[in-house]
Each structure stands twice: as structure tokens, then as C-alpha cells.
Structure 1
Amino acid sequence: MTDRPEVLRPAVPHPRRGAVAAAADAVEPVPQWWTPTRALGRAVLLTGLLLMAGVLLGRVDLVVLAAPFALGTAWALRRQPVEAPRIRVAAEDGALVEGGPLTGVVTVGNPDRTGYDLAVVRTRVSPWFKITEAGFAGPAGVDRPLALPLSPGEAVDLELRGDTLRWGRHPFGPAGIRAVACAGLLASRPVLVEPQPVRVYPKTEPFDADEAMPRAAGLVGGHRSRRPGEGGELAGVRIFGPGDRLRRVDWRVSLRARQLHVAATLSDRDAEVVLLLDVLAEAGRSGGVRGPASVLDTTVRAAAAIAEHYLHRGDRVSLLEYGPAARRLRPATGRRQYLIALEWLLDVTAANSAHEPYDQVFGPQVLSSNALVVVLTPLVDERSAAMLARLARSGRFVVAVDTLPDSTLPPRRSQWSEVAHRLWRLDRENTVGQLREHGVPVVPWAGAGSLDLVLRDVARLASAPRALGR
């Protein structure tokens, strides 16, 4: 055993040494954004070969011939860029409606003190954006590169203008830039920027339902109810009683009968409208706002129009999906509910699944017995027809809106394609007839006045007396 004292390592490093070590650890390696090009390699190779040949052969002319290449390369590399080129995309993300104008900007910049001989910019946008004016727009859109020089510290905005063709969340971008500097001897690595999502709201088709709601259950609203109360619809004249207001006194009848009479009115009440979107199947090919509509296009645009109409009248509107996800928007009123409904509709997608849809959303805690259920369905899946029949048997007021476009045709693959399509149409018409026998009216979506006749029949059935079983 030696008498040498044991050397203990300090638990806390020396303050100066610790600061230096921390600073060294904090320094991250700077990425090398600029790399030599083939032109620089050729210049160095040619200069080296000429110098070696001149020295080995003892020829001064070869050395003199190599001097311009060496001086030119050194002069071009006297000031090299260090930072990467900058690029940014920005698009208008306000109240964009399909078919309306779109404005986007791609900003490219040079943060170095060395100018770029050439900067190549390329960007892409969603195919549902039709770019008509841009610095690098071609016949097919913006998927073409643009080359431009950039001075030190310069930033250039490339403005893109066009139209939106379809609702949804569409990407504006991505975009990339690559620059060349020092007379083409140095090139930057590609700099990419992520796309920016742009919200495009569906175009609300004109819709107006003048008929009354089947059963108005709220306290205030714009629908006439069968209950007496404060409203604008005259229900009759009766004798003045406790609680009646003096402004309701009908003086002409009171003077004739020599007793106070008041004008009785029916209360104005609101109703709850449930828009049920069938997303089990998609059919047709969307051509945008100016082209043919698919099932989802008709469903989303009709839902937006119906929600806008009833929310404008002061009713409560809720939205619900019939599919694997079973998304739901709670009922509410006002303009805020309309904006939330538009945001909710942007995420509607067709999701066909072999499993049965989530049916617990049709319980009494979700669907009120007094609510008017408007089902937007193409009636392509058999489960959709079964769902409509189940809602009708539960005693709710159901209206089915057919969203299948008339132009939906299968691809002609053989001589039997047309015959098979006709048989499928006949089977679908048979399903529609069975639903009508169960008391579910089915009407195609046709914009304004699509539901007037149906709501009139439903309101008449709701006001009719019901027989009580003994």
C-alpha cells in the first residue's frame, strides 16, 4: 500500500474551465450551405495541369497561359457568400370563397454581402388554384422555374394572382430556391419552405325555404307556432284578463262589446335543424366551381346554404356526419355558428368502411325529438337507406336530400356497362320508393325552393292529430 494521497475529482468544475467548456458545447457546427461547382473544379484542374506541364517541360508560355485562370479564379473567390438564400411563401387566408380571387406572394432574398449571379426559384400550388398572373407562370401554371439575379441584401416579391376552383384546405407551396455566386464557381444547396394551408369556403347556392317548421320548440324565433304568446301572427280576440298588456287592447271591439278585449297572438319560436351528412361514399368527379359537381361538392354546398338560411332566421343548427368518424357540431345560433359550420365543412371527406357506422349519435341526447333532420345523402350505400328508415320509425321529422349528380356515369369498359348502370339506377329508384312508403320524403337538391313542398307536407303531418292507442 502506497502512501500517495488519493486524488479526488472535483464535483464542480473550475468556473473558468466550465464556462469555456459550456461555450464550446453551445457552439453548433455551422452548416456548409455553399459548395463548389464543376466550373471551379475545371478551373483548378486546368490551372494545375498547365503549371505542372510548364515546370516539367521548362516552358514559360504554359505558366503564362495558366496565370489568367489562376488570377480569375482567385478574383472571383475574393468574397464568398456564407449564409443560405432566404425564401418565404405567404397567401391570403381570409374569407376566400371558391370561384373568388386569390393572391399569394413568394419572397426571395439575399442576406449576404455578396450578390448572386443567378437565383433559380420554383414553386408549386394546389391544382385547385388557377394562377393567371405570375412572374413565372406558364401555360400549365406555376410549376416552372424563374431565374433572376439578386444584389447584396436585396429581397424580391413574386406575386401570384388567380382564382380558387374548389372548397377545402389547399396547400400554397412548397417553394424552393438555389443560387449561384462568384461567377458560377459556388452554388448553394437547395433551400425549401413548407407549403402554407389556405382555407377556401364553399360557395353557398341560393336557398330559401318559405314554409314553416314542423315543430318549433324554442322560446324566440321567426317561426309561427300553435302556442299563444308574444308574436306578430293574430290568433283572435278575447276578453281582457290578468297579465294582459294595455297595448294589446282592441278598442274597437271593446267599445262595441262594452268590455275590454285584447288581440291574442301566436308566439314566434325558433327550431332546431340537424344537417346529417352521409359520407359513406363518393361518386362523380369534381370539376371545381365551374365544372361538374361530385357528391361531396353537392353535399357541402347544400349544407352551407341550408345552414346559412336557418341561422339567418334565428334557428339553431347542428351538423353531423354519418360515417366512421361521426363528427358532430353542437347546435347554436348566430353568425358565429355559421363561421364555425363553414370551418367544420372544410374537413368533410368520404370515408368508406366495412364496419358499421357509429350509431350512438342518433340517441335522444344528440337528436332532439322536435328537430328537423335534413339528411344529405347520395343513397349509394345500403346502410344509408337503413339509417333513414330507422330515423323515420323513431318519430323524427326527416327529409332526405338526394345529392347524387345526374351526370354520374360509370366508365365504359364493355358493352354491358350501360346496361349494368341502368339496372343500378332502377334498383336505386326502388330504394327511393320504399323510403317514401316509410314516410321519408326524398327530393333532389335544386337550390332555392328545394324543400318548400316537402316542408309543407311535413308541417301538415306534424299539426295533424295523432290517434292514441288503447
Structure 2
Amino acid sequence: MTPWPGAPRRVREPKVVAWFMARRAVRFQGWRRTDALVRALVCGAGLMLVGLVMHRVELAVIGLPLVIGLLLTKAPSGTPEVVSAPLPDTVVAGQHAVVGVTVRPGEGAVFTALRMPLPTTAGVGPVHLLPATDGEVRTSVVWNAWGHGIYLRPDHLFASHDGLHVFGPVVGIAVQHTVLPPIEPLVPGPLPPRAAGLVGMHRSARPGDGMELRDIRTFQPGDRLRRVDWRVSLRAAAAAGGTLMPGTLHVRERHAEADADLVLALDTRLDVGRAVGEWNARPVGMDVRRGGSLDLGVRASSSIAAAYLRHGDRVGLVDLGHPRGGVPVGSGHRQLQRIRHQLVHAARRVEGSGDPVLNQTRVPSGATVVVLSPFLDDQLVDLTVQLTRRGRLVLAVDLLPAELAPDRTTPWGAPVLSIVRAEHRMRLRAAEEHGVVVVPWDHDHADGRLAAILRLIRGRRR
């Protein structure tokens, strides 16, 4: 078959090159000779050659046993393997666990080089030199940071006597894991109840079958006898002549209890830390910066969601950087797990640009909205003000680190930092003027502070 004009011609590799490539591929499979063995053979053969040329018998006597011994050395026949013990795919930040691998060196292996994580951190870890014996190698690890990553990759290499033959190096199977953000203990505050809620943990304005006393009034047709306040009724009967008559019976009227909705709106577009010069640089080896704005936002969202879900409220999550992300409002322990997994997934998609998007269908009527962001752009302030104008209770949590360091690589570092701080203060002041309550997030003083602020806001709204 003749190729058409201009078609590329297939270049056939010489058989010699293919043979060398095949030999090279076989060389790295199974046990193979090391460079030390090759150098020892070359050294022994060289001593024999020099002894024969220079008629030095002692050199030939030294090189001959070395060459014969190395040629008679056989490679080990065993097939070593390293098998890692299974662990749960999902763990919690701050959790401790014991990671172990089972080592089966086979016949002929003397020592092994095994890569294991350090006891203080989880990850690939350094290489440890150990004797090649059957057994299990364990180490205790702690997950200090949340996110996706590798907590174990048992790379290994086995060697025979004097390191003349090696098996490997073999890149171990990486074990993936998902570390959920930790939950800080928080005191949930009172949220405005939903208008459609019938049963819940918060007091509503209408009467019902709650626990908090609303009023004491005279008995009306349809009231239940168990609501009669006999002390007040007897006093009224005594004042009326000592007999119970229709106008002397009084009942206790209580407030109805309703559930509440809380929507957490997290800004995942930016991840800034204390150093202003590193804001445009992506952290190496991790999804987010340790101690940065996104790290604080994820930890705060997880803690707030856990506190209010435990209180019996309905909590949802909105990803301001990705409209299709987020979790609709719900309740229960499974809702908390969905929110935490979504927080970890959203932190991997930091883009650093784009306008915040909040779908109004994700925010139920009467829900309280908590916006978590460093507030470094005007679009997010406009979005927060729009929510307030629509009658929503909005709480803005400022995630910008309190102590910022200027960029030392440029003489404009300090002026740029002062401009950034001034614009940040103006945005927060503009939000407060439109009725948005702004509070900086601090893990050390978060316990009880959020509840006090919500209680104060609810008192003002009344």
C-alpha cells in the first residue's frame, strides 16, 4: 500500500536499539545487580590484567578470588512485598491514629529502606533503614490540617548481603484520605424563627404549646382544662364571692416554639494570610494556607454548623465562589457531615477572582445569613447589603487576619498595606451603616460571643 503524498513515514527502530530497551526494562524488574557489584568485578578483573601484564603474581592472586566470588553470587529468589493496613477514608483534624504496613521480605533480603510518615505529621514521610524481617511496621500520626491528601505511601527497596543485589525502588500505592475540619465548642444563640415553623427550639411571637409563659387570660371556649391556672382562678373566685363562675377561670397562654434556618455563606474566591506579598502565591503541598482566611472560614463554618444543628435548627451552606456548590438547609448529623465534606471540596477550587454569586433560592424566607469573608472587594459588600434590604438578618464575619505584614521585596509594601487596611475599614463601615452586624472571628473568644451578638440583634429587631 503506497502512502499518499505528504503522509508521515513510520520510522522503524533498529533491532539493536529495541533489544537494549528490552534489556533495560527487564533490568529494573525483580532483583538486579547494583553498581557496587559491577565496580567490584571491574576492579578484580583489572587487578588480574595488571598482574599478568606486569608479571605481578600477588595482584592476580588478589583479583582472581574476587572475580570468582562475585560471579558465583546468585541473586535472591524471593519476591518482597509491602502491604499497607486499611484505614477509614475520612478522619477529623486533630485525630490520632496508628498507621501500619506489613513487610514480607522473602528469601535473600537482608535490609530494607521503607518510607513511613513521622509521628507528628501525616504525609509521605522520610525513608527509614530497617532490617528485612517478617512483621508489621507501625507509627502514630496526627492530622494537623484538614483537606485532601496522602497520609501513607510506603515506598520501599530491599537489598541482599553487602548490597550486591537490590529489589526496587518500588513506589508504594498511595493511600488517599479526607480530613474534615475540626469543630470548636460554641454556644448557639437565639435565631429568628421561621414563619412556617410549627415545632422547634426558638420562641415565636404567636401563642401555642411552648414552655415560656406569654400571658394569663380568662377562660374561653376551646381552651383545655390542663391550661387552667388554679391559683389565679381561686383568687378571682374569692374576690367574686367565693364561687367559681364563668368569668373567674383563668388559663396560662404560652409562646409557640418554632424552628429556625441558618445559612452559612462562605467566600471561597480568596485565600489570604498574614503576609501580603504571598497573597498571589498558591501554597505548596496543600490546598489552603494554614491560618489564612479560608482556613479560618472553613473552621468557623464547621463549628457554627455543628453548634446550631446540635441545637435542633436547620443549617445550610452557600459557596459564594461557585454557585452550583453548597448544601441546602437541613438538620441532623448527616447534614453536618455533608457540610463538612462540601467545605473541604470547596477549598480546593480557589480561583482568586470573579464576582460573588448568591442564589436567592438557597436562602429560605426568614433565614439568618452568616457571611464569612475577608471583605477585600466591594461586590461582596453590595451583596450583603442587598440581603439586609430584603429583610434578612445578616451577620458578617470578618476573616482578614488582624496582623498583616507588608511585602518586604518592594519599597511600596507599607503604603500598599495601609491602603488595603483603609479600604477594608471603609467596606465594613458601609456594611454597618446599612444594618449589617460585623464581627471579627477569633477562635480564642468565639465561645459565647456569637450567641451574645445574635441575642442583641434579636432584641433590636423586636
Q: Please give the TM-score of this superposition, normalised by the length of structure 2.
A: 0.76
Secondary structure, counterpart of 2:149 in structure 1:
strand
**Aligned equivalents of 2:72, 2:412: Cα separation in 1:** 76
Residue equivalent to 1:330: 328
Residue equivalent to 1:370: 366
Residues 38-47 or 162-171, more deviating: 38-47
Match of 2:69 among 68, 72, 76: 72
Shift of 1:376: 0.8
**Aligned equivalents of 2:455, 2:419: Cα separation in 1:** 33
Secondary structure, counterpart of 1:147 in structure 2:
strand
Judging changes above 3 Å, is the alpha-carbon distance between structure 1 residues 269 and 47 closer, same or farther for their aligned structure 2 residues? same
**Aligned equivalents of 2:364, 2:121: Cα separation in 1:** 46
Aligned AA for 1:118?
F
**Aligned equivalents of 2:333, 2:375: Cα separation in 1:** 31
- Is 1:236–1:264's contact at 8 Å kept on the other side of the alignment? yes
Residue equivalent to 1:439: 435
Q: Is 1:122 aligned to residue 115 of structure 2? A: yes
The percent of aligned pairs where both chains have the same amino acid is 33
**Aligned equivalents of 1:46, 1:424: Cα separation in 2:** 69
Q: Is 1:145 aligned to residue 136 of structure 2? A: no
Match of 2:156 among 166, 177, 181: 177
Q: Is 1:405 aligned to residue 395 of structure 2? A: no
Question: Residues 242-281 of structure 1 correspond to what in structure 2 (within 5 A)?
Answer: 243-255=222-234, 256-257=236-237, 258=244, 259=246, 260-281=249-270
**Aligned equivalents of 1:301, 1:51: Cα separation in 2:** 72
CA offsets, 1:331-372, max 9 Å, x none? Answer: 111222223222222223262354434x3x422x32112100
Aligned AA for 2:210?
G
- Is 1:432–1:442's contact at 8 Å kept on the other side of the alignment? yes
Shift of 1:241: 4.4
- Is 2:203–2:257's contact at 8 Å kept on the other side of the alignment? yes
- Is 1:80–1:182's contact at 8 Å kept on the other side of the alignment? no
Secondary structure, counterpart of 1:344 in structure 2:
helix
Q: Is 1:236 aligned to residue 226 of structure 2? A: no
CA offsets, 1:187-209, max 9 Å, x none? Answer: 21211113323333333334224
Shift of 1:417: 2.5
Residue equivalent to 1:103: 98
**Aligned equivalents of 2:28, 2:387: Cα separation in 1:** 63
Secondary structure, counterpart of 2:154 in structure 1:
strand
**Aligned equivalents of 2:328, 2:253: Cα separation in 1:** 35
- Is 1:401–1:444's contact at 8 Å kept on the other side of the alignment? yes
**Aligned equivalents of 1:160, 1:245: Cα separation in 2:** 66
Q: Which runs of 5+ in 2 are unaligned?
A: 1-25, 238-243, 276-282
Residue equivalent to 2:271: 282
- Is 1:166–1:200's contact at 8 Å kept on the other side of the alignment? yes
- Is 2:193–2:258's contact at 8 Å kept on the other side of the alignment? no
**Aligned equivalents of 2:415, 2:353: Cα separation in 1:** 27
Aligned AA for 2:231?
R
Judging changes above 3 Å, is the alpha-carbon distance between structure 1 residues 165 and 53 closer, same or farther for their aligned structure 2 residues? closer
Aligned AA for 1:33?
G
**Aligned equivalents of 1:401, 1:169: Cα separation in 2:** 26
Match of 1:34 among 23, 31, 35: 31
Q: Is 1:207 aligned to residue 186 of structure 2? A: yes
- Is 1:221–1:315's contact at 8 Å kept on the other side of the alignment? yes
User: Cα RMSD (Å) of the superposition?
Assistant: 3.7
Aligned residues: 412
Aligned AA for 2:30?
W
- Is 1:284–1:409's contact at 8 Å kept on the other side of the alignment? no
- Is 1:280–1:381's contact at 8 Å kept on the other side of the alignment? no
Secondary structure, counterpart of 2:270 in structure 1:
coil
- Is 1:92–1:102's contact at 8 Å kept on the other side of the alignment? no
Residue equivalent to 1:12: none
**Aligned equivalents of 2:173, 2:76: Cα separation in 1:** 28
Residues 346-355 or 405-414, more deviating: 346-355
CA offsets, 1:395-414, max 9 Å, x none? Answer: 22211111112012332344
CA offsets, 1:276-329, max 9 Å, x none? Answer: 1012211115999xx982211221121122112211110000011100354111
**Aligned equivalents of 1:280, 1:53: Cα separation in 2:** 72
**Aligned equivalents of 1:392, 1:281: Cα separation in 2:** 23
Question: Residues 325-364 of structure 1 correspond to what in structure 2 (within 5 A)?
Answer: 326-349=324-347, 351-357=350-356, 359=357, 361-363=358-360
Judging changes above 3 Å, is the alpha-carbon distance between structure 1 residues 278 and 38 closer, same or farther for their aligned structure 2 residues? closer
Residues 65-74 or 321-330, more deviating: 65-74
Residue equivalent to 1:17: none
CA offsets, 1:98-151, max 9 Å, x none? Answer: 3x43432244321x3x131221123457xxx8349xxxxxxxx98543222324
Secondary structure, counterpart of 1:419 in structure 2:
helix
Shift of 1:56: 11
**Aligned equivalents of 1:165, 1:301: Cα separation in 2:** 13
- Is 2:193–2:203's contact at 8 Å kept on the other side of the alignment? no
Aligned AA for 2:375?
L
Aligned AA for 2:201?
G
Secondary structure, counterpart of 1:451 in structure 2:
helix
**Aligned equivalents of 2:28, 2:66: Cα separation in 1:** 29
- Is 1:91–1:105's contact at 8 Å kept on the other side of the alignment? no
Higher helix share: 2
Secondary structure, counterpart of 2:346 in structure 1:
coil
- Is 1:277–1:376's contact at 8 Å kept on the other side of the alignment? yes
Judging changes above 3 Å, is the alpha-carbon distance between structure 1 residues 91 and 411 closer, same or farther for their aligned structure 2 residues? farther
**Aligned equivalents of 2:274, 2:150: Cα separation in 1:** 20
